[in-house]
Amino acid sequence: PPKCNNYKRVGHLTKDCRSRPANNNNNHRNNNNQQGNGCFECGAQGHFKRNCPKLKNNDRSNQSGNDRAPLRVYAVRNAGANPDNVVAGTFLLNDRYAYILFDPGADRSFVSTAFSSQIDIAPSTLDHYYDVELAGGRIIGLNTILKGCTLNLLNHTFNIHLMPIELGSFDAIISMDWLADYQAVIVCAEKIICIPWRNETLIIHGDESNQGNVTRLNIISSTKTQKYMLKGFPIFLAHITATEVEDNSEKKRLEDVPIVQEFSDVFPKDLPGLPPT
């Protein structure tokens, strides 16, 4: 009759034995190590802690339950993480002049809390927080956004959503989310922004571009104006009219200017000269 060499039993051959002992010393040693050590997380045998299914499930749960997406805000105190890759200038934001930084290194567009108080838009609350890392390494959580803000570039109005945050030198930071929506391209060498608009391309010049230095007026934002006033800088009211007026009846008179008309005795009709510096 057939005899099994594993257990010296009669009735089946060795090749048909259902219970084969582990006769390989290396395999036996490896199995003992894996089963003997076990998992230090759940205590089960057959895997190590780094491969524990319990940890993997917890990681997936944390990712689905925690929507705090880490973002990074560059250039809060200076001209950006990479000054050669950004464009800064003064533009109209919700009909107010704002000093704006276009920075593709940031993930979201932001507005300073000081400037946002001048925007007549109620902030919306998001259903999740964003962890935002400032330039100094401080991390804050944001869950509010101003939807439907208007950015005026070359008399063209663009829609933009801004998250209020504490900013240093800038009133707003416009980043990759807005640039991508409008397929805008920053030309670093010339410090300009090219924005496709219907059948043309808008070219926005920053303060450091050649054309910007020649043609742009030195306009400051309302936030900076308030800072200068608090520091005691003198403020002059200038009323400018066109010099070529055919009909004298259309000329602006001092009595036509609100508030100023109440102080006609203070403001002379003809200025003797420029105000003192």
- Each residue's pLDDT tens digit, 187-232: 888 888 999 988 899 999 887 665 544 444 566 777 777 788 888 8
Instruction: Say whether both 145 and 94 belong to one domain.
Output: yes
Instruction: Say whether both 54 and 105 belong to one domain.
Output: no
Residue type, 79: A
Is there a contact between 179 and 186 (Cβ–Cβ < 8 Å)? Answer: yes
For residue 171, the model assigns a pLDDT of 92
| Tally of domains within the chain | 2
Instruction: Say whether both 80 and 199 belong to one domain.
Output: yes
**Residue 101 tokens, joined:** 């930084």
List Cα–Cα distances, 44 to 22, 32, 36, 54, 60, in angstroms. Answer: 22, 14, 10, 11, 20
Instruction: Say whether both 39 and 170 belong to one domain.
Output: no
What is the extent of the structural domain holding 166?
A: 72-227
Distance CA 18, CA 20 (A): 6
Q: Tell me the per-residue pLDDT of 67-101, one tens digit each, with 9 for 90 and over.
A: 555 555 543 444 344 566 788 889 999 999 999 99
Per the domain annotation, does 250 fall within a domain?
A: no
For residue 210, the model assigns a pLDDT of 54
Per the domain annotation, does 182 fall within a domain?
A: yes
The per-residue pLDDT string of the chain (277 residues; one tens digit each, 9 = 90 and over) reads 666 666 566 666 666 665 555 444 444 444 444 444 567 667 777 777 667 776 655 554 444 444 555 555 543 444 344 566 788 889 999 999 999 999 887 788 999 999 999 999 999 999 888 888 776 777 888 899 999 999 999 999 999 999 999 887 889 999 888 999 999 998 888 888 999 988 899 999 887 665 544 444 566 777 777 788 888 887 777 777 666 655 555 566 666 666 666 666 666 666 566 666 5
Place of tokens 């089963």: 35
Instruction: Say whether both 29 and 96 belong to one domain.
Output: no
Distance CA 146, CA 128 (A): 15
Is there a contact between 145 and 127 (Cβ–Cβ < 8 Å)? Answer: no
Neighbour tally for 116: CB within 10 Å: 23
Per the domain annotation, does 139 fall within a domain?
A: yes
Neighbour tally for 227: CB within 10 Å: 13
Instruction: Say whether both 160 and 209 belong to one domain.
Output: yes
Would you say how long the chain is, in residues? 277
Per the domain annotation, does 258 fall within a domain?
A: no
**Residue 116 tokens, joined:** 């946002």
Per the domain annotation, does 276 fall within a domain?
A: no
Instruction: Say whether both 41 and 85 belong to one domain.
Output: no
**Residue 160 tokens, joined:** 């933009």
Instruction: Say whether both 150 and 23 belong to one domain.
Output: no
Instruction: Say whether both 136 and 210 belong to one domain.
Output: yes
For residue 177, the model assigns a pLDDT of 87
Distance CA 142, CA 204 (A): 30
Instruction: Say whether both 36 and 156 belong to one domain.
Output: no
Instruction: Say whether both 30 and 157 belong to one domain.
Output: no
Per the domain annotation, does 27 fall within a domain?
A: yes
Per the domain annotation, does 272 fall within a domain?
A: no
Instruction: Say whether both 24 and 43 belong to one domain.
Output: yes
Per the domain annotation, does 121 fall within a domain?
A: yes
For residue 2, the model assigns a pLDDT of 67
Distance CA 240, CA 271 (A): 12
The pTM (predicted TM-score) of the whole model is 0.52
Adjacent-strand bridge partners of 199:
none
Distance CA 160, CA 108 (A): 11
For the chain, percent helix, then strand, then coil, each to nearest 5? 25, 30, 45
CATH of the domain at 195: 2.40.70.10
